Amino acid sequence: MAARDGNDGRGAAVPFIGSRMSRLSAWIGGAAIADAGDAGPIADPERDGHRALFADIGAFLDRHALEPSVAHYQIARTYILRESHPLSCSIDDRLFAGGTIDAAFLHRLTNRPSHDPLSPERIADMADALAARLTETECTFRQSHASARDYEQALTVEAGSVDSDPDGTVKRLLALTTQAIARNRLLADRLEETHRETNQLRRNLHDARRAADEDHLTGLPNRRCFDRRLHALPATQDGAAPHCVALCDIDDFKAINDRHGHDTGDRVLKLVARHLTNELGIAVLVARHGGEEFACLFEDCTPEVAFDLLDGARAALGGRILVNQTTGDGIGRITFSAGVASLGDDPGAAMRAADAALYAAKRAGKNRIAFPPEDDVG
């Protein structure tokens, strides 16, 4: 899906390169696209981004000596774009362990029974494993301390017999030292192994917690994350700008799905997610609230300022004409409606007011921003 620019580019010829995979990588990542009159390269950042993605996919397949099949291409694309947390974690863990990413591994990866890697039980298991590794590390440190203490005591004992039995003392000291070195090496190896496993478990746990707060399609925070942040927000201090919330809903989204299919609908959701994030800025928390609805949290921001920011984002999105890249069919303009409400002291009431404002915008003709109706204020 891309903005219509009226130019249908064609890839320039690519010289012969040795391997089939190298030729594929060079073709999909290489020459600039020219228009029908060969007037020179056309600047198209979105198309350049797709070409870079194709090149990364080709490099992934080439690096792991994978056949350029449709299945392998899809897995590589999903992994590079981090569109599936379980798949990405499985491949990352395999690479971290020095394993091979071959066709057999990918087949097992995509055909094994599905399970929820982010279930409370799964996260609890990872937390328990991390706690066990930390306990093991503590035990190893205690053993190291005890070993050093035993060695010190043995040296003290042998020091008392050095005058009466110097040769025997030297032999016993050498044996004690050899044993101490061997024990220390063994403990050091165990510490190193435990350290690696602990770090991997920490990364897995961090990824699981982060993914539990993330919408897997758009990459935005999900409703769970938004609600936690909303309820944790401290009350507005006297004299400070108030906080406010907004609910945004893509207009006529069902018609897009019905006409162009759910894949195109998913791309529209991702487009709107990126657009809201870019237009509203990093100070505003934008989350996917469910379906085609997005929630926005404006901290230290009056409803009037939030209204203007959303209205600017609405106008910018509505000014684009989109096409379905897969079929070439026109999608047209994508618009959204939104409702804005002051947060106040009751987050639940604020969200209900924003929802009432959203539906007021829908009833008024869509593609607009609204405040709550007077009956819903307070």
Residue-wise pLDDT tens digits, 123-167: 666 666 767 767 777 777 777 777 777 777 777 777 777 677 777
Are 177 and 85 within one domain? Answer: no
Phi/psi of residue 25, nearest 5 degrees: -60, -40
> Does residue 310 sit within a domain?
yes
Judge whether 334 and 272 are in contact, CB under 8 Å. yes
Residues 278, 151 within the same domain: no
The last residue of one of the domains, among 189, 212, 235, is: 212
- Give the active site residue among 197, 279, 292, 374: 292
Q: Is residue 131 assigned to a domain? A: yes
Q: Do 298 and 347 lie in a common domain?
A: yes
Domain of 65 in residue numbering reads as: 2-111
Same domain, 206 and 242: no
Residues 83 and 144 in one domain: no
Q: Is the same domain home to 274 and 347?
A: yes
- Tell whether 341 and 243 lie within a shared domain: yes
Q: What is the pLDDT of residue 270?
A: 93
32 assigned to some structural domain = yes
Is the model more confident about 261 or about 234? 261
Take residue 93 and report the two structure tokens written for it.
């863990």
Q: Of 111, 140, 161, at which residue does a domain stop? A: 111
The answer as to whether 87 is a domain residue is: yes
Structure tokens at 145: 């301390």
**Tokens 């990542």, located at residue:** 29
What CATH number did the domain enclosing 298 receive?
A: 3.30.70.270
| HSE toward the beta carbon, residue 165, CA cutoff 13 A | 10
Domain match, 162 and 261 both = no
The rounded distance, in Å, linking the Cα atoms of 352 and 368 is 18
The structure's pTM equals 0.51
Round to whole Å and give the CA distance between 115 and 127: 18
| Same-domain pairing of 53 and 105 | yes
Residue 218 lies in a domain: no
- Assigned domain for 217 exists: no
The gap from C-alpha 166 to its chain's centroid, in whole angstroms, comes to: 67
With beta carbons less than 8 A apart as the criterion, state whether 292 and 305 touch: no
Q: Which of 40-44, 91-95, 327-331, 336-340 has the highest mean pLDDT?
A: 336-340
Residue 358 lies in a domain: yes
Question: In this structure, are 251 and 365 located in the same domain?
Answer: yes
Among 24-38, 70-84, 302-316, the minimum mean pLDDT is found in 24-38
Q: Give 177-211 pLDDT, tens digit per residue.
A: 888 788 778 777 777 777 777 777 777 766 766 66
Distance CA 351, CA 356 (A): 9
Q: Out of 88-92, 208-212, 250-254, pick the least confident.
A: 208-212
Query: pLDDT (tens digit, 9 = 90+) per residue, 215-249?
Result: 888 989 999 899 999 988 876 655 556 899 999 99
Tokens describing residue 270: 């991702």
Would you say 17 and 29 are in contact if contact means Cβ atoms under 8 Å apart?
Answer: no
Is the domain of 107 the same as that of 127? Answer: no
Fill in the amino acid letter for 24: L
Classify residue 294 by burial, with Cβ atoms within 10 Å: 0-12, 13-18, 19+.
buried
Q: What's the number of domains the chain is made of?
A: 3
E strand segments, the chain:
2-3, 10-11, 33-34, 244-250, 284-290, 293-298, 322-323, 330-332, 336-342, 369-370
Q: Give the mean pLDDT of 22-30.
A: 44
Note whether residue 83 is domain-resident. Answer: yes
Q: Is 214 labeled as catalytic in the residue annotation?
A: no
Domain boundary, last residue among 111, 143, 168: 111
* Residue 247 and residue 372 in one domain: yes
Structure tokens at 10: 């064609």
Kindly tell me if the per-residue pLDDT of 258 is higher than 60: yes
Tally of CB atoms within 10 A around 182: 10
